[in-house]
């Protein structure tokens, strides 16, 4: 029994103290505000909306800002909402557009000059067979790919940190590549011109090793999904004949392009052992997860019928080419950590 001191019973702690710091799985994903400062042209407003769609679902899609919106007011709102990044557009009277990526609430801030850009609608019209993303494709953040961004110099190291923290990290243990990864955000850095290329792609996975006719039935794409004009066939095996594919398809089928790359899919054994599944051997079957139809029959996902599949990246926009101007220590203020060699007094007047 615990000893008494001064007539009072001294209680000892029997439970370990609980940590108040959130774990990696419970950490909140980064949130962002994409807005403009001051008046802007209709093209810049449309680009701003396209950029919000790229950063979904971790951004405010319907954020409304005025021509006289104060940065301090947005900071007051960003704190309770958990907003970690600002993406600010500002258009000068001469037509120059500057894009700033800032970490709230104390910086740093990376300033770019927008050299060229194309809206998502422009990219869509320029393609022969464009890809239309569904609303479910924006439920997960895009996969970030950084190209030619080495961490040898302090300025590129800060750029890598800024863009990596702009999007939530990839959960390798629980992610399902064919269900969760639907978009790709590619950032290509040109060290010679100090320009950053911004590209946004959609992912399409197509089964390989089957005829075009069978592939159309598997994918269920088109105006009449899975419908075939097979009334003149004598046997069902003629569906797999490549010579009859042109007469069976109800619409044109897109040809395979050089931008595709193929991979072999892991297929589960016919009767997997329960112990093997519990040990983690069956985790690769997530891409071939079964679904149940209304009649009670189970079917596999679209691209899971074939052991091989081809991945194609189709650009959906927007497309931007930005030139680095400077890096500031604070939020749009403070000590200049890096100034581009091409930065002139005229550029500083337009900021």
Instruction: Work out whether strand 319-328 and strand 195-208 pair parallel, antiparallel, or are unpaired.
Output: antiparallel
Confidence grade of residue 293 (pLDDT, cut at 50, 70, 90): very low
- Tokens encoding 214: 């069978």
**What is the Cα 82 distance to its own chain's centre?**
20
Give pLDDT, residue 257: 39
More confident residue, 305 or 170: 170
| pLDDT, mean of residues 4-25 | 59
Q: Which residues contact 13 (CB under 8 A, 6 or more apart)?
A: none
More confident residue, 165 or 268: 165
Give pLDDT, residue 93: 87
Give pLDDT, residue 302: 45
Query: Tens digits of per-residue pLDDT, 228-250?
Result: 555 556 666 665 665 554 444 43
| pLDDT, mean of residues 162-186 | 87
Instruction: Work out whether strand 143-147 and strand 183-190 pair parallel, antiparallel, or are unpaired.
Output: parallel
84-98, 281-295, 320-334: lowest mean pLDDT where?
281-295
Q: Which residues contact 163 (CB under 8 A, 6 or more apart)?
A: 101, 144, 146, 187
User: Could you say which DSSP state residue 238 is in?
Assistant: G
- Closest by Cα among 186, 198, 197, 196 to 325: 196
More confident residue, 129 or 228: 129
Give the C-alpha separation, 215 to 305, whole Å: 9
Partners of 264 in the β-ladder: 308
Confidence grade of residue 124 (pLDDT, cut at 50, 70, 90): very high
Partners of 292 in the β-ladder: 298
Give pLDDT, residue 319: 95
9-23, 50-64, 122-136, 322-336: lowest mean pLDDT where?
9-23
Q: How many CB atoms lie within 10 A of CB 251?
A: 10
Give pLDDT, residue 260: 52
Residues belonging to the chain: 351
| pLDDT, mean of residues 3-22 | 61
Give pLDDT, residue 279: 42
Percent of residues, the chain, with pLDDT higher than 70 = 62
């Amino acid at each position: 029994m615990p000893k008494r001191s001064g007539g009072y019973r001294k209680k000892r702690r029997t439970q370990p103290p609980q940590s108040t710091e959130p774990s990696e799985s419970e950490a909140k994903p980064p949130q962002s505000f994409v807005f403009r400062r001051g008046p802007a042209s209709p093209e810049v407003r449309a680009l701003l909306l396209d950029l919000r769609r790229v950063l979904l679902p971790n951004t405010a899609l319907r954020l409304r800002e005025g021509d006289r919106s104060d940065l301090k007011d947005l900071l007051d709102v960003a704190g309770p909402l958990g907003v970690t990044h600002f993406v600010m557009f500002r258009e000068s009277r001469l037509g120059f557009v500057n894009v700033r990526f800032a970490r709230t609430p104390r910086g740093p801030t990376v300033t770019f000059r927008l050299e060229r850009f194309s809206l998502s609608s422009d990219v869509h019209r320029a393609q022969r067979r464009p890809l239309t993303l569904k609303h479910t494709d924006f439920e997960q953040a895009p996969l970030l790919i950084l190209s030619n961004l080495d961490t040898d110099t302090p300025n590129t190291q800060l750029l890598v940190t800024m863009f990596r923290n702009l999007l939530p990290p990839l959960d390798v243990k629980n992610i399902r590549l064919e269900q969760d990864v639907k978009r790709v955000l590619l950032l290509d850095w040109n060290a010679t011109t100090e320009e950053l290329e911004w590209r946004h792609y959609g992912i399409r996975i197509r089964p390989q090793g089957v005829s075009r006719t069978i592939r159309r039935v598997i994918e269920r794409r088109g105006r009449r999904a899975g419908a075939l004009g097979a009334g003149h066939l004598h046997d069902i095996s003629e569906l797999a004949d490549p010579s009859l594919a042109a007469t069976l398809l109800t619409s044109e089928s897109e040809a395979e392009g050089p931008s595709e790359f193929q991979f072999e899919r892991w297929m589960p054994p016919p009767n997997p052992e329960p112990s093997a599944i519990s040990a983690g051997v069956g985790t690769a079957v997530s891409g071939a997860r079964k679904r149940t139809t209304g009649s009670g029959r189970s079917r596999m996902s679209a691209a899971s019928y074939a052991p091989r599949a081809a991945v194609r990246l189709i650009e959906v926009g927007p497309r931007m080419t930005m030139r680095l101007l400077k890096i500031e220590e604070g939020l749009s203020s403070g000590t200049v950590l890096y100034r581009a060699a091409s930065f002139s007094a005229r550029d500083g007047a337009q900021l």
